[in-house]
C-alpha cells in the first residue's frame, strides 16, 4: 500500500527538520545581534558610577555586560586611567558612555582599541586646543556654578544648586543626589587632551535642553564637530536619572549601529 500523504514523516526526518530549523534560527540571531558585548560608563563631577543604575539594569537584562568606572575626581589623567582599567573586566568590543565631565574622560580613554564607539550624555568633549574649562568658557556660565563653594581644594555644590543640577527629579531623589555628590578637585578642569577619540570613532550625543550645568549650546556645538548623531531631550543635567528610556534608546542605537 502507498502511504497516505497525511501520514507523518518517519521520526528521523522530524529530527532532521527540527535541527535544521533550530540552526537557521541561531544563525539569524547571530546575524542580527550587535557585535558590541559590553557598555562601560564614566561619570561626571558631583556623581559616581551608580548614577547610571537606571540604564545599567535594563542593559544587563538584555544580555550586555556593563561596568562603571569609580574614578576619584582628583586628577584628570588618573580618572582616564581608572576608566581604561575597567575595560579588562568585560569582553570587547565596548561602547563607552560618558556623562558631563565624563565626556572629557571618554574623549581620552576612548582611544583604547577595545572601544568601538562613544556616547556623550550632556557632556564635555574638548579638542586638543582646549582645556576642559576653556571649552566651557566659550559659552554662558550656567546656574549651577553660581551655587558652589571651593573649600579644602574641592568644588562643592551648595544645597540650593541641586535644582539646577537635577531639577526634574522628585524632591527626595534630588536630595539623595546632592547628599552623595562627589566634589571634584578644584584643579581638575585645567587638563588638556592630546588626541580626542571622537575624531576617529563614531559618536552619539544627548543634549539636555533644560541643562543648567553644562550649557545646551556647548553640548550641541561639541556634537556637531564630532559629527555625532544628536538626540535632544527636555531634561536637566541628569537624563540617565530623569529620562532613562531616552538614554537607553540612544545606547541601543549605538550598539546596533557598530
Specify the CATH number for the domain of residue 211.
Answer: 3.40.50.1820
User: 152-187 in b/e burial notation, b at 16+ Cβ within 10 A?
Assistant: eebbbbeeebbbbbbbbbeeeebeebbeebbbbbee
Residue 2: its pLDDT value, please? 44
Does residue 110 lie in a domain region?
Answer: yes
Does residue 94 lie in a domain region?
Answer: yes
Query: Helices (H) and strands (E) in the chain — how many of each?
Result: 10, 8
Number of independent structural domains in the chain: 1
Residue 35: its pLDDT value, please? 85
Residue pair 206/119 in contact (Cβ under 8 Å)? The answer is yes
Q: Determine the distance from the C-alpha atom of residue 231 to the mean position of all C-alpha atoms in its chain, rounded to a whole number.
A: 13
Does residue 77 lie in a domain region?
Answer: yes
Does residue 13 lie in a domain region?
Answer: no
Domain around 159: 36-257
122 C-beta neighbours (distance < 10 Å), count: 29
Does residue 9 lie in a domain region?
Answer: no
Does residue 120 lie in a domain region?
Answer: yes
CA angle 44, 47, 53 (to 5 degrees): 100
Does residue 11 lie in a domain region?
Answer: no
Tell me which residue of 138, 139, 144 sits closest to 157, measured CA to CA. 144
Does residue 8 lie in a domain region?
Answer: no
Determine the 3-state secondary structure of 68 from DSSP. strand
List the pLDDT tens digit at each of the 258 positions of the chain: 444 445 555 555 544 444 444 444 434 434 445 689 999 999 999 999 999 999 999 999 999 999 999 999 999 999 999 999 999 999 999 999 999 999 999 999 999 999 999 999 999 999 999 999 999 999 999 999 999 999 999 999 999 999 999 999 999 999 999 999 999 999 999 999 999 999 999 999 999 999 999 999 999 999 999 999 999 999 999 999 999 999 999 999 999 999
Amino acid at each position: 500500500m502507498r502511504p497516505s500523504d497525511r501520514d507523518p514523516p518517519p521520526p528521523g526526518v522530524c529530527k532532521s527538520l527540527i535541527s535544521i530549523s533550530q540552526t537557521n534560527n541561531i544563525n539569524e540571531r547571530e546575524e542580527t545581534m550587535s557585535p558590541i558585548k559590553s557598555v562601560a560608563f564614566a561619570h561626571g563631577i558631583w556623581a559616581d558610577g551608580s548614577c547610571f543604575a537606571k540604564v545599567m539594569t535594563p542593559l544587563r537584562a538584555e544580555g550586555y555586560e556593563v561596568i562603571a568606572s569609580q574614578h576619584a575626581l582628583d586628577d584628570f589623567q588618573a580618572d582616564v586611567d581608572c576608566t581604561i582599567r575597567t575595560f579588562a573586566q568585560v569582553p570587547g568590543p565596548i561602547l563607552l558612555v560618558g556623562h558631563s565631565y565624563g565626556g572629557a574622560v571618554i574623549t581620552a580613554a576612548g582611544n583604547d582599541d577595545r572601544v568601538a564607539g562613544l556616547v556623550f550624555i550632556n557632556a564635555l568633549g574638548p579638542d586638543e586646543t582646549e582645556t576642559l574649562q576653556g571649552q566651557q568658557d566659550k559659552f554662558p556660565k550656567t546656574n549651577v556654578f553660581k551655587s558652589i563653594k571651593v573649600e579644602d581644594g574641592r568644588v562643592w555644590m551648595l544645597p540650593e544648586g541641586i535644582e539646577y543640577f537635577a531639577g526634574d527629579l522628585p524632591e527626595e531623589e534630588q536630595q539623595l543626589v546632592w547628599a552623595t555628590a562627589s566634589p571634584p578637585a578644584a584643579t581638575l578642569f585645567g587638563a588638556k587632551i592630546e588626541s580626542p577619540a571622537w575624531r576617529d570613532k563614531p559618536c552619539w550625543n544627548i543634549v539636555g535642553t533644560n541643562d543648567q550645568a553644562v550649557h545646551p549650546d556647548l553640548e550641541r556645538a561639541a556634537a556637531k564637530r564630532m559629527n555625532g548623531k544628536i538626540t535632544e531631550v527636555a531634561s536637566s543635567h541628569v537624563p540617565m536619572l530623569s529620562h532613562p528610556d531616552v538614554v537607553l534608546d540612544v545606547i541601543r542605537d549605538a550598539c546596533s549601529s557598530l
